[in-house]
């Protein structure tokens, strides 16, 4: 059986001493974490390892000796290192040595329990790894590795989870301010000390009181929002349908998470907080840019002067469309009486809407000015408010769609019921199925008469329903585009994507091995490199929950609803639960 030794690259130039690490018996491998240098007292080394075990709950022990012969062979030092095995008993006992020039390595495992006798060097696999990258990386489940260069050998992430876990949990050993200043001198990736920043330390000191203050303000705001006044039926119904209220509620949840006094317990929670922080920061920055653009060079006044003429042109276009439908659209012969009734009914609604727009025209600029201030809360809030404004400005189109859909649905429902009457069938409400039924002559006559009337009135109703459904779908498409942009800003894990771009080793999908050298009678030396997580998996793994819960309809169900005249509500449904 091959014996694997994971050795950090930062210790390849360290002076001779003891190898400190963890033995993983199920993997037949030893993970070297640091090198203890001379001079040292054995009892002090044992006390150090005891402190590390109590702090990290990792079985850190002395694995063997490390000999670095810089000038030439040192026989006295070699015999002294071999004698340390009697003081620090460990089975197997490693003897790792680097010859002069660093081109030749030797590694022995004395007393290895898996093989009888003393194994030779060719039974040992020496794997070098970057200790800093392994410590800071998060190992994800294994995936299909990308194309690798010649000489590379893949390895699954599952078999190396123990190595990553050992290095991550032994972080207390790498704290220079705790152990390196003591009587025992160590070599690891932080042996030269940790860089500190005064600004970072001041931010850490101010974070506690700031989080407590903001958390108290958010709890007060949450208590005000749960007042009984906001639970009354008209107000609660309107707030549940407005995208702005949903987005503000979603951002309040993000702020509560960011300024929570409780810290992140797992790396996943810490990553989620970082993604939320970057998302909120980018949202507010884009909102401030939009606010500066709106209040600069009188853009709000220009928008207010453009809004009323655009509304007039839309209303005029609808009037021309209705007049075209009231004639002979595309040469179709319609039911004139029903056509005139529906056309005049919709024209009256357009007249009411134009009167409402002209009544509100003197206040539109002031309304837009106050609406523009909402951009300071974030671009998503401004986009949600824009979606609500579009819904209010096109409310007459929504009314036309509801009227046409309900009238069309009643005709389709009546025709389907009368069609069952001709076949001697009826719908059993109790058993929710179609049963046989016998009808008398009067019922068949009335049914035939009603069926004929509905069939001749259906083309006129279907034409109005088709036209206003297309208009409604156009408005829903515009609102859906705004909602997609809001969901993209809310859910895109920008911090994780940036981390994958700048430091790809932080998000690891697995590892690969590159052969460094192999000599006869010498251990095979490999370099372990981290395979970064693909961008698609980064987005899928760390994607944040969206604020809205919109109905997810397939194309088949959507077409079925449109064909039978069922209403399609683009807003949030009660049955959906927000994440």
Q: Provide the domain limits for residue 446.
A: 294-491+550-564
Query: Domain for residue 472, yes or no?
Result: yes
Query: Domain for residue 500, yes or no?
Result: no
Indicate the residue among 258, 280, 302 that finishes a domain: 280
Indicate the residue among 280, 315, 338 that finishes a domain: 280
**What is the secondary structure of 345-398 as a DSSP string?**
HHHHHHHHHHHHHHHHGGGHHHHHHHHHGGGGG-HHHHHHHHHHHHHHHTHHHH
Residue 134 burial by Cβ neighbours in a 10 Å radius (0-12, 13-18, 19+): buried
Query: Domain for residue 576, yes or no?
Result: no
- Provide the 10 A C-beta neighbour count for residue 423: 10
Same domain, 126 and 263: no
- Between CA 369 and CA 299 the distance in angstroms is 10
- Among 25, 99, 33, 26, smallest CA distance to 62 is for 33
- Among 389, 398, 401, smallest CA distance to 357 is for 389
Query: Domain for residue 353, yes or no?
Result: yes
Query: Domain for residue 572, yes or no?
Result: no
Which pLDDT score, from 0 to 100, does residue 377 have? 86
* 247 in Cβ contact with 380 (< 8 Å): yes
- Provide the 10 A C-beta neighbour count for residue 151: 9
How do the pLDDT tens digits run along the chain, 579 residues long? 678 889 998 888 888 888 888 888 887 888 999 888 877 788 888 888 888 888 888 888 888 888 877 644 455 555 566 666 667 777 788 888 887 666 678 888 776 444 444 445 557 888 999 888 888 888 876 543 333 443 444 444 456 788 888 888 888 888 754 554 567 788 887 766 555 556 666 666 666 677 777 777 777 777 766 777 666 777 777 777 788 888 888 888 888 888 887 777 788 888 888 999 999 999 999 999 988 888 877 788 888 888 888 888 888 888 888 888 888 887 777 888 888 998 898 889 888 888 888 888 888 888 888 888 888 888 999 998 888 888 888 888 888 899 999 999 999 988 988 888 877 788 877 787 888 888 888 888 888 888 888 889 998 999 999 989 998 999 888 988 898 899 999 999 999 999 999 999 888 888 888 888 877 778 888 999 888 989 999 999 899 887 765 556 677 888 888 888 888 775 544 445 444
Which residues are registered as beta bridge partners of 22?
Answer: 31
Angle 441-444-445 (CA atoms, 0-180°, nearest 5)? 85
Same domain, 262 and 321: no
2 Cα distance to chain centroid: 41
Same domain, 99 and 220: no
* 38 in Cβ contact with 60 (< 8 Å): no
Same domain, 353 and 435: yes
Which strand (E) or helix (H) includes residue 538?
Answer: helix 535-542
- Between CA 564 and CA 413 the distance in angstroms is 8
For the chain, what is the domain count? Answer: 3
Joined tokens for residue 383: 């986009």
Sign of torsion over alpha carbons 216, 222, 225, 231: negative
Same domain, 343 and 207: no
- Between CA 303 and CA 316 the distance in angstroms is 20
Joined tokens for residue 240: 């549940």
Same domain, 74 and 189: yes
Same domain, 215 and 155: no
Q: Considering all CA atoms of the chain, what is the largest pairwise distance in Å, rounded to the nearest integer? A: 120
Same domain, 162 and 115: yes
Residues ≥6 apart with Cβ < 8 Å to 67: 16, 74, 77, 78, 81, 95, 96, 97, 98
CA dist list (Å): 554 to 179, 547, 562: 61, 21, 12
Same domain, 129 and 58: yes
Query: What are phi and psi for residue 565, nearest 5 degrees?
Result: 80, 20
Query: Domain for residue 179, yes or no?
Result: yes
Query: Domain for residue 254, yes or no?
Result: yes
pTM equals: 0.77
Query: Domain for residue 107, yes or no?
Result: yes
Residue 563 burial by Cβ neighbours in a 10 Å radius (0-12, 13-18, 19+): exposed
Which pLDDT score, from 0 to 100, does residue 116 have? 45
Same domain, 424 and 464: yes
Same domain, 55 and 88: yes
- Between CA 147 and CA 152 the distance in angstroms is 10
- Between CA 16 and CA 65 the distance in angstroms is 8
Which pLDDT score, from 0 to 100, does residue 409 have? 92
Same domain, 143 and 109: yes
């Amino acid at each position: 059986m091959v014996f694997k030794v994971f050795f950090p690259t930062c210790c390849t130039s360290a002076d001779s001493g003891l190898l400190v690490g963890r033995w993983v018996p199920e993997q037949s491998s030893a993970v070297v974490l640091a090198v203890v240098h001379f001079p040292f007292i054995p009892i002090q080394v044992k006390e150090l390892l005891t402190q590390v075990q109590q702090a990290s709950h990792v079985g850190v022990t002395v694995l063997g000796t490390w000999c670095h012969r810089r000038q030439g062979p040192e026989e006295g030092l070699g015999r002294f290192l071999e004698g340390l095995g009697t003081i620090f008993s460990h089975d197997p006992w490693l003897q790792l040595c680097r010859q002069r020039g660093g081109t030749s390595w030797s590694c022995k495992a004395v007393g290895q329990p898996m093989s009888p006798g003393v194994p030779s060097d060719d039974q040992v696999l020496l794997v070098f790894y970057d200790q800093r990258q392994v410590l800071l990386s998060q190992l994800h489940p294994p995936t299909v590795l990308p194309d690798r260069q010649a000489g590379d050998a893949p390895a699954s992430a599952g078999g190396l989870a123990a190595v990553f876990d050992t290095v991550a949990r032994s972080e207390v050993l790498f704290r220079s301010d705790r152990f390196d200043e003591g009587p025992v001198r160590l070599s690891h990736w932080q042996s030269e000390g940790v860089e500190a920043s005064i600004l970072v330390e001041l931010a850490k000191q101010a974070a506690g009181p700031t989080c407590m203050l903001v958390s108290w303000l958010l709890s007060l705001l949450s208590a005000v929002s749960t007042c009984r006044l906001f639970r009354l039926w008209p107000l609660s119904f309107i707030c549940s349908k407005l995208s702005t209220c949903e987005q503000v509620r979603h951002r309040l949840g993000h702020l509560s998470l960011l300024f929570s006094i409780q810290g992140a317990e797992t790396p996943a929670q810490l990553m989620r907080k970082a993604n939320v922080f970057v998302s909120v920061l980018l949202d507010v920055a884009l909102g401030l840019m939009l606010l500066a653009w709106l209040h600069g060079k009188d853009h709000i006044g220009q928008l207010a002067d453009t809004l009323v003429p655009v509304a007039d042109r839309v209303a005029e276009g609808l009037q021309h469309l209705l007049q075209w439908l009231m004639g002979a659209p595309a040469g179709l012969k319609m039911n004139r009486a029903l056509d005139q009734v529906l056309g005049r009914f919709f024209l009256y609604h357009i007249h009411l809407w134009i009167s409402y727009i002209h009544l509100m025209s003197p206040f539109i600029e002031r309304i837009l000015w106050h609406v523009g201030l909402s951009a300071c809360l974030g671009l998503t809030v401004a986009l949600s408010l824009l979606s609500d404004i579009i819904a209010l400005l096109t409310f007459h189109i929504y009314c036309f769609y509801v009227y046409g859909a309900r009238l069309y649905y009643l005709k389709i429902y009546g025709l389907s019921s009368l069609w069952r009457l001709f076949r001697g069938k009826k719908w059993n409400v109790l058993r929710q199925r179609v049963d046989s039924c016998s009808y008398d002559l009067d019922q068949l006559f009335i049914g035939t008469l009603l069926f004929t009337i509905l069939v001749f009135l259906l083309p006129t109703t279907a034409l109005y329903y088709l036209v206003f459904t297309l208009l409604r779908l156009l408005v829903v498409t515009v609102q859906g585009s705004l909602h997609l942009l809001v969901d993209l800003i809310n859910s895109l894990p920008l911090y994780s994507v940036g981390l994958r771009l700048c430091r790809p080793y932080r998000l690891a999908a697995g590892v690969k091995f590159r052969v460094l050298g192999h000599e006869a009678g010498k251990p095979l030396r490999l370099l372990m490199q981290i395979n970064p997580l693909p961008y698609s998996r980064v987005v899928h793994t760390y994607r944040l929950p969206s604020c809205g819960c919109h109905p997810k309809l397939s194309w088949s169900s959507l077409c079925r609803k449109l064909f039978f005249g069922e209403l399609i509500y683009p807003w949030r449904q009660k049955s959906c639960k927000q994440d």
